[in-house]
Amino acid sequence: MEHFDNFVHNIGLSFIADAVICLLTLIFFIVILAKKRNVRLLVVSVLYIGAFATTSVFCELTDGKMFFIASTVLRYMLIFFMVAFCVVYQSDLKALFTKLESKSDEVHYATHGNSEDDLTAAADEIVKATQVLSRNDTGALIVVCAGSVPVNVVETGTRLNCVVSSAVLESIFNTKSPLHDGAVIIKNNTILSAGCFLPLTQRTDLARDMGTRHRAAIGIAEESNVLAIVVSEESGIVSVVRNKNEIKRYVTSEHLTQELENVYGISHIVKNQIRRK
């Protein structure tokens, strides 16, 4: 009991600051590293933070007379370690802060319609445009938002706010169009913006024939809940990205229709009723 009283008595502001820093750093590392499944780095991080906390405690208990050098070295190593961590995992941190920003500053864009008829018609028009662009080997990047619209991306392009149609999409991605190099952002049955710039993924395991459009599609999928459709200008191959770690290539019209229906939440019963009309 006496030792505990001495421990409490010797706790100072420095120890409290160290404890808070250790706790926040540990939580930060666990969230990011567990997500990346980097077990080795996670173990090293936990051991390092444990050593840092231990030396800080003993340094406080001995009025700074013991473990002072070790505690000082570990403090500077913590700064270096955190900076290196931010550099290595900058893409994950960017995605994390983008999600936090989108939740705290979400903008609801007005769309022309979101009924089953409107969404089914929009899906059909997107599939039709993709078929034409694929046959003509015309590069395209179409982003269909399933949830909130990535505001930071929409504002980089030219606002259109028009109903989705195959003719409009084909004209946007025409090589003579000033907007053909960017991405089209679609919400419900409305083309919100065209010529948008998307964040590029930092992944290094992609096939060599995947160009900037594929990297941009994966990049936006890493940050937002979207369906990204890519048409390769070299081969006309259609690819889709829904989850950040999943890219499907050689997508057929039927598969693309299914992906769009899943994003729009169109039921198969209602879909068949609408298309029989």
pLDDT digits (tens, 9 = 90+) for 157-195: 999 999 999 999 999 999 999 999 999 999 999 999 999
Residues 6+ apart with CB under 8 A from 44: none
Rounded Cα distance, 23 and 115, in Å: 48
Residue 35 DSSP label? H
Tokens linked to 91: 């893409």
CA distances 12 to 3, 67, 115, 264, Å, are 16, 16, 62, 56
Rounded Cα distance, 151 and 160, in Å: 15
The overall pTM is greater than 0.85: no
Q: List the end-to-end C-alpha distance of the chain, in Å, as a whole number.
A: 82
Per-residue confidence (pLDDT) for residue 155, from 0 to 100: 85
Considering just the CA atoms, what is the radius of gyration of the chain in Å?
26
- The domain 116-276 is placed in CATH, from the list 1.20.1530.20, 3.40.50.300, 3.40.1700.10, 3.40.50.11540, at 3.40.1700.10
Per-residue confidence (pLDDT) for residue 106, from 0 to 100: 42
In the chain, where the domains are located: 2-88, 116-276
Per-residue confidence (pLDDT) for residue 230, from 0 to 100: 96
Per-residue confidence (pLDDT) for residue 202, from 0 to 100: 79
Per-residue confidence (pLDDT) for residue 274, from 0 to 100: 47
CB 185 within 8 A of CB 172: no
Residues of the chain with pLDDT below 70 are 1-78, 80-81, 84-85, 88-113, 244-245, 267-277
